[in-house]
Amino acid sequence: MEIDLSKLDIKKAHEHLVNGDFTAVELAEKCLENIKEKNEEINAYLEIYDDVLEQAKKADERIKNKDNVTELTGIPIALKDNILNEGRTVSAGSKILENYKGTYDATIVKKLKDAGVVLIGRTNMDEFAMGASTENSAFGITKNPHDITRVPGGSSGGSAAVVAMDGALGSLGSDTGGSVRQPASFCGAFGFKSTYGTVSRHGLIAMGSSLDQIGPIGKSVSDIEILFDVIKGYDKMDSTSLPDVTEKKKKNDKLTIGIPRHFMKEGIDEDVLENFNQSVEKLKSLGHEVKDIELPNIKYSLAVYYVIMPAEASSNLSRFDGVKYGLRKDGEDLLGDYLETREVGFGAEVKRRVILGTHVLSSGYYDAYYNKANIVRGLIKSDFDKAFDPSADGVDVIITPTSPTPAFKIGEKKDPLSMYLSDIFTTPANVTGIPALSVPSGVVQRDGKDLPVGLQIMANHGREDIIFSIGKDFSN
């Protein structure tokens, strides 16, 4: 059978593989062909692994022998460049780790390998996952496959672009403030950040440890579910990992949807708002109840995020000192070595955040910034708790646009603050730890091009089942 990657998702490809319509080797070859044709321009992959076809052969054996075949056996998947893969380069988009090789498999990589995926390669990203456009990579900008003059979003821009350019059927990214959901929305894909603690962070190069979650990008809600089911689960190697709970499965009934309209007044593109209103109408026509809700402190999420995240990132990045990992530059003395290594190894955005983070943690400012941000974080959480509270007539899900704008032009956001504002709708889910999915909700037009935009669906902690249920309802 002729393979058309643009018409396949993981679920369909799995059926074809087990039916013998094509082999995992043929599927991988098709991906490689596509990558060869497109990656030079898009720059979504930083590296294609040299054993792709061997991995695919092993998957074919497994399928032939009906040996523990999973829905992911033989499926081509891409990994963000900050997730450890043993013996392979993992650079976090940074010069400081340019030649660093993973010393072990991240828990999720081990799980994916056990499931029999074919890992195609590692994808480009903003350096240390700091950014919303993939322009901050030390290894060149990734372009949006829908319009190559525009960014794919970030920081998992490479992971979203490989799905959009049919260079893999799914990918993994990391989401600290929106880095899976926003690029998914810019590239017309589905992107998911689950409840904090459901997916192990062991082997993820840390950015903001109380916010980071690894999450899947794919072409349908069922693919997101397939990937999430494999990567989730308690892991003793991650001290914030949640215990496994018996799964709730949402029956497909009608839900109550909350909209914080008061939070969508400023800085949101008119076409994006129009698209969002159409999504609301669609959800109503599907029989769901929609109501306005108030989240009085949600407006502080971005500010809270941009205090807590740099604080945690500056601590996490202190290990890159030229001694323990990666690049080493010699200075005049030990301190000189540190300074020289970090000066040469880190890009401008990383330095900005290390300085910001060090400042908010410094003794004179700790209470004024870091402590205060944590207090406000608690207030935002309690707003969401109330909004979801079933005993207070709470809602099942809360929706917003994923991003206030469609994909912007490469080079357009020169001022870091304007870039940070891209995260306005995505950061609340990280600050509160709740799950959130971005589903494609149509396109808006710019310069004669159709640019994808996304609808973000959030639910209470542990209720990914509700998100998947309504996500499917909306996308079918």
Tell me how far CA of residue 50 lies from CA of 43, 46, 452, in angstroms. Answer: 18, 13, 33
Q: Indicate the residue among 93 and 218 with the shorter CB distance to ligand GLN.
A: 93
Tell me which of 91, 133, 159, 179 is the catalytic residue. Answer: 179
Q: Indicate the residue among 200 and 213 with the shorter CB distance to ligand GLN.
A: 213
Alpha carbons 243 and 235: distance in angstroms, whole number: 8
Q: How far is the CB of 249 from ligand GLN (least distance, A)?
A: 29
Long-range contacts of 281-284 (CB under 8 A, 24+ apart): 282/474, 283/257, 283/399, 283/470, 283/474
Q: How far is the CB of 304 from ligand GLN (least distance, A)?
A: 12
Q: How far is the CB of 452 from ligand GLN (least distance, A)?
A: 18
Return the H-helix or E-strand segment holding 360.
Answer: helix 348-361
Tell me how far CA of residue 291 lies from CA of 275, 281, 287, 294, 359, in angstroms. Answer: 18, 12, 13, 10, 41
Kindly give the residue spans of alpha helices, DSSP state H, lying in 116-220. 157-164, 181-186
Q: Indicate the residue among 116 and 197 with the shorter CB distance to ligand GLN.
A: 197
Judged on CB neighbours under 10 Å (0-12, 13-18, 19+), 103 is exposed
Question: Is 222 part of the annotated catalytic residue set?
Answer: no
Binding site for ligand GLN (CB under 6 A): 129-132, 155, 174-179, 207, 309, 423
Q: Indicate the residue among 22 and 420 with the shorter CB distance to ligand GLN.
A: 420
Alpha carbons 188 and 164: distance in angstroms, whole number: 7
Q: Where are the beta strands (DSSP E) in 237-375?
A: 256-259, 289-292
Question: Is 80 part of the annotated catalytic residue set?
Answer: yes
Q: How far is the CB of 422 from ligand GLN (least distance, A)?
A: 6
- Cβ neighbours of 289 (radius 10 Å): 13
Helix, strand, coil shares of the chain, percent, nearest 5, are 45, 15, 40
Tell me which of 91, 133, 155, 314 is the catalytic residue. Answer: 155
Tell me which of 80, 143, 232, 413 is the catalytic residue. Answer: 80
Q: How far is the CB of 129 from ligand GLN (least distance, A)?
A: 3
Q: Indicate the residue among 34 and 358 with the shorter CB distance to ligand GLN.
A: 358
Question: Is 391 part of the annotated catalytic residue set?
Answer: no
Active-site amino acid positions = 80, 155, 179
